[in-house]
Structure 1
Amino acid sequence: MEFDIVKVQGVDIESHRRLFLAETKFQFIYNKCHDAGWVDVYLFKFNEISIGYGSVWGKDKRENRDTICEFFLDQPFRKYARYIFDQFIKISCAGFVECQTNDTLLASMALESAKNINAEAILFETAFETAFTIPGAQFIKSLSSEDWNAYSIQKDGEIVARGGFIWNYNFPYIDIYYEVKENFRNMGYGTLFMQELKREAYRLNRIPAARCNVKNQASKALLLKAGMRICGYIIIGELI
């Protein structure tokens, strides 16, 4: 079978991206790259009919286009995934593949095609509610709409942790970030803060998600304690 792979504009792959995101039941971190202009996109065609798409971005520098980060095919053509993926590598001249392991189609292509695969980050989804309290600790929302760190935990009038949300992922998911002052770490404030940010996300009609570096054992332990669970990894590999 003969397939065509052509570099196109973002609007040309929108129908396939909508289908991909409809199938996706997790936060897809590369979704933000399209609005930001950080990817080149390619349309996959068979007999002039579009059957899927792929995206390429820069692994280390955003202006580079050396890493496949999206790969989607309509269901009837997924049996040809490896062949089309190999052609995509050649057309895009990509030297790397980066993906979430819960994106099963691209993850399977990465595991089949790449070498020197490494996990860069751990992905978390919400699992259960918690009920932690610290006497005197308050969860505070900033009154300034321009405050990047829009939320804080305060104890006796002192800010001990700051954080908030990153909104530019696929709806309804929202990314949580936080930082606890060094002299207040390992005292339960981070877990309390994560718990309250999760609750705030639901009040905003969003589903909370988070991630951390695979080497960050403290963050991993905090997220698990705060009712999150591991749902995947971000992996990077060299294309053979």
Structure 2
Amino acid sequence: MKAKVIKTSLTEIQALRDLFLAERPFPFIYNKCHGAGWADTYLFTINEMKVGYGSIWGKDRREDRDAVFEFYLLRPFRHLTDKIFSEFQKTSRAKFIECQTNDTLLTSVLFDRASIIHVEAILFEDSFQTKLKIPNTVFKQKAITDEDPSYVLEQDGNTVASGGYVWNYNFPFIDMYYEVEENYRQRGFGSLIAQELKKEAYRMNRIPAARCNVKNKASKATLLKAGMRVCGHLLTGRLG
């Protein structure tokens, strides 16, 4: 059984990547890397048969190609994970793994092979609808462009919070962001705008998702209050 790892194009592995995403029905934060041209991709073959692929990008600088962020094998070949990943690491010269804990295949590789593992972020998915209200407060769209709308919360005519979306997740998920003006924090405006951004996402036929730094307890509490739930964590680890 002869295994090969060959640097290739996204087109060459697209069918395999479609399977990768189909097995991961959750927000995948690295989806943007391919479309933005930040990734190098490698095809895995055994006896000339396509059995999987892997992708790397730059951990700290986009021009670097030192961190594995996708690793996929067809199910009948997953017992060869250790052998194929070893060849992939050798060929790509990857020094790190970045992964989501809900991507169980790559997470298992990280815990088997990586050291100095860090938890970088908390990942959220929608859980339930909330009915938060604050008197005299309205949610409005304030478009920058038709393709990149932004939104604000206003109370008595004053902007108290703003937010919008980053279109970098796998369809149908969309990444929400928001910010509350400093003088209006800890008064419920963060959860309220997150709630309204969730509703707007569904109106656009998207499923809302979010993330925050693992140390940002206030942001985590805000998102939980808005009906989100933790669905995973973002990990990084150095390969030996």
Amino acid at match of 2:218: A
Amino acid at match of 1:185: R
- Name 1:69's counterpart in structure 2: 69
- Name 2:185's counterpart in structure 1: 185
Matches of 1:75 and 1:197 in 2, distance apart?
37
Identity %: 56
- Which aligned segments of 4 or more residues in structure 1 are displaced greater than 2 angstroms? 143-149
Matches of 1:117 and 1:149 in 2, distance apart?
37
- Name 1:20's counterpart in structure 2: 20
- Name 1:136's counterpart in structure 2: 136
- Name 2:207's counterpart in structure 1: 207
Matches of 2:201 and 2:148 in 1, distance apart?
16
Matches within 5 A, 1:37-76: 37-76=37-76
Cα displacement (A) at 1:23: 1.2
Query: Aligned to 1:109, what secondary structure does the other structure show?
Result: helix
Matches of 1:199 and 1:149 in 2, distance apart?
14
C-alpha contact 1:55 1:68 (8 A) present in aligned 2? yes
Structure 2 CA distance for partners of 1:6 and 1:143, relative to 1, 3 Å: closer
Paired residues in the alignment total 240
Cα displacement (A) at 1:86: 1.4
Amino acid at match of 1:171: F
Cα deviation, 1:93-114, whole Å, max 9, x if unaligned, reads 0111100010010011001110
- Name 1:33's counterpart in structure 2: 33
Query: Aligned to 1:84, what secondary structure does the other structure show?
Result: helix
Matches within 5 A, 1:84-99: 84-99=84-99
C-alpha contact 1:149 1:163 (8 A) present in aligned 2? no
Amino acid at match of 1:191: S
Matches of 2:144 and 2:48 in 1, distance apart?
52
TM-score (norm 1): 0.97
Cα displacement (A) at 1:145: 2.4
Structure 1 residues not aligned, in runs of 5+: none
Matches of 1:201 and 1:149 in 2, distance apart?
12
Matches of 1:217 and 1:101 in 2, distance apart?
19
C-alpha contact 2:143 2:149 (8 A) present in aligned 1? no
C-alpha contact 1:149 1:162 (8 A) present in aligned 2? no
Structure 2 residues not aligned, in runs of 5+: none
C-alpha contact 2:28 2:169 (8 A) present in aligned 1? yes
Cα deviation, 1:186-217, whole Å, max 9, x if unaligned, reads 00000100001001111111110000000111
Amino acid at match of 1:137: T
Query: Aligned to 2:2, what secondary structure does the other structure show?
Result: coil
Matches of 2:148 and 2:31 in 1, distance apart?
21
- Name 1:127's counterpart in structure 2: 127
- Name 2:231's counterpart in structure 1: 231
> How much is the aligned-residue C-alpha RMSD, in angstroms?
1.1
Cα deviation, 1:119-165, whole Å, max 9, x if unaligned, reads 00000011111100000000001244258561010011111111111
C-alpha contact 1:125 1:209 (8 A) present in aligned 2? yes
